[in-house]
């Protein structure tokens, strides 16, 4: 991560945010739920502590999506235009999955891993130098130690 400011926002410009640091990890998810929710081939989620997302302007509304696990998935959107900005999977409150292409520099956060490639669209070709997984991965082996420590600081060993 460089020191560049990670600012972003919604499509209408009302909601603006700033990340106070880089994320812990960046997943590119090819699961069917993500594909439907964003209406595209995949979603790029930057995983970051919720208190490191500073809302600069606008109103954020929350839509709750059903999940297979039964734990709520809260989607945080611009209240004015509905652009999804970040999600709280499982409503843990402390960890968010920021939609990385809402950053002003849409390519600033490249995926650290591709997940749920079993439902990847057949015409999407993945780069050979980024780890890819049929479903998910073992976080303990893939995440950098510093990121694991950040996660432990907000979630404990859970
Ligand atoms: Zn908006
Ligand atoms: Zn997904």
3-state helix, strand, coil in the chain (%, to 5): 20, 35, 45
Task: Specify burial of residue 121 (Cβ count, 10 A radius: 0-12, 13-18, 19+).
Answer: exposed
Q: How far is the CA of 86 from the centre of ligand 2 (A)?
A: 13
Residue 158 pLDDT level (bands cut at 50, 70, 90): low
Tokens 């929710």 appear where?
37
Q: What is the pLDDT of residue 68?
A: 79
Q: What is the pLDDT of residue 1?
A: 47
Q: How far is the CA of 31 from the centre of ligand 2 (A)?
A: 4
Q: Name which of 107, 71, 101, 113 is nearest 88 in CA terms.
A: 71
Three-class DSSP labels, 38-60: HCCCCEEEEEEEHHHEEEEECCE
Question: Does residue 3 have a pLDDT over 80?
Answer: no
Q: How far is the CA of 11 from the centre of ligand 1 (A)?
A: 5
Whether the pTM exceeds 0.85: the reply is yes
Give the closest ligand to the alpha carbon of residue 45. 2
**Is residue 51 within 8 Å of residue 94, measured between CB atoms?**
yes
Span 87-106, pLDDT tens digits: 999 999 999 999 999 999 99
Q: How far is the CA of 147 from the centre of ligand 1 (A)?
A: 31
DSSP 127: P
Give the whole-angstrom CA distance, residue 53 versus residue 133.
Answer: 28
């Amino acid at each position: 991560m460089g020191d560049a400011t990670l600012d972003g926002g919604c499509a209408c410009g009302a909601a603006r945010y700033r990340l106070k640091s880089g994320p812990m990890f960046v997943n590119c998810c090819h699961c069917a739920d993500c594909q439907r929710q964003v209406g595209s081939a995949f979603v790029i989620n930057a995983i970051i502590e919720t208190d490191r997302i500073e809302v600069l302007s606008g109103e954020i509304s929350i839509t709750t999506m059903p999940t297979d696990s039964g734990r709520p998935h809260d989607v945080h959107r611009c209240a004015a235009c509905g652009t999804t900005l970040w999600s709280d999977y499982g409503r843990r409150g402390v960890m968010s999955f920021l939609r990385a292409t809402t950053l002003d520099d849409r390519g600033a956060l490249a995926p650290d891993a591709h997940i749920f490639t079993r439902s990847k669209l057949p015409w999407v070709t993945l780069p050979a130098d980024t780890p890819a997984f049929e479903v998910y991965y073992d976080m303990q082996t893939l995440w950098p130690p510093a990121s694991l420590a950040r996660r432990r600081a907000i979630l404990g060993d859970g």
